[in-house]
Amino acid sequence: MKPAQIQLLLVALLCLPALSLFWQIAQVLQGLPNDLGPDPGKAIVIELGQWSLWILLLVFSATPLRQWFGWRSLVVHRRVFGIAVFCYYGLHITAYVVFLLELHFKEIVEDVLQRPYITMGMLSAVLLMPLAWTSNDYSVRRLGRNWKRLHRLIYPAILFVMIHVIWMARSDLLQPLFYLLIVLLCFAGRSQELFRRVKGR
């Protein structure tokens, strides 16, 4: 397949979870059987958050996987996955505001100030915004070397995401700690590459 065709296929696949959720929401609104359980709003928020986390982990692991196993596919198509992260993260926050806060915008400020795990989640969203906005060829050309510097915001962003996930999990930490292990391994792989670059100068 040609690169453009592969990208279209990836976009279609990455849209499937969101389309499935929209279908479930339509079922709920019509009072029909659905898979969202007794609290559909909370289930939607959690599922969108999980998808944004899973895709973010894929993006962050692209470089280490290329180093360790020679897998270049994720690196080649990392931009598509990166934009998908931001889209799912945006849907996650939108669902939180619509379904859990019921559009009471005053409560958003209160949650951000009073609930540390919400604070971490919002901080990571703010850091991911410029990465999504500059994920295009024009920005790469315009920013030059500063483009790579800007995209190092992925490091604090993913740390804030992990803090958000761990604090939200509270006692059930097995899955969040597994994700944290993946992140730490990726940090180690990226640090090795950075060290080699600095040493080679």
pLDDT digits (tens, 9 = 90+) for 170-181: 778 899 999 999
Task: Answer for the pair 110, 156: CB distance below 8 angstroms, yes or no.
Answer: no
> What local confidence, expressed as pLDDT, does residue 35 receive?
84
**Predicted pLDDT at 196:** 60
Count of structural domains, the chain: 1
The whole domain housing 112 covers 3-200
Query: Considering Cα of 14, then 61, then 65, then 172, what sign does the dihedral take?
Result: negative
pLDDT at 109 over 80: yes
Q: Could you tell me what percent of the chain has a pLDDT over 90?
A: 60
Span 137-160, average pLDDT: 92
> Which pLDDT score is estimated for 106?
84
* 104 has pLDDT over 60: yes
CA distance 20 to 67: 35
Statement: residue 6 has pLDDT above 60: yes
* Alpha-carbon Rg for the chain in angstroms: 18
CA–CA distance, 190 with 29 (Å, rounded to integer): 46
Residue 201 in this model has a pLDDT that exceeds 60: no
* Contact of 24 with 34, CB cutoff 8 Å: yes
- % pLDDT > 70, the chain: 95
User: Is-contact 120 160, C-beta < 8 A?
Assistant: yes
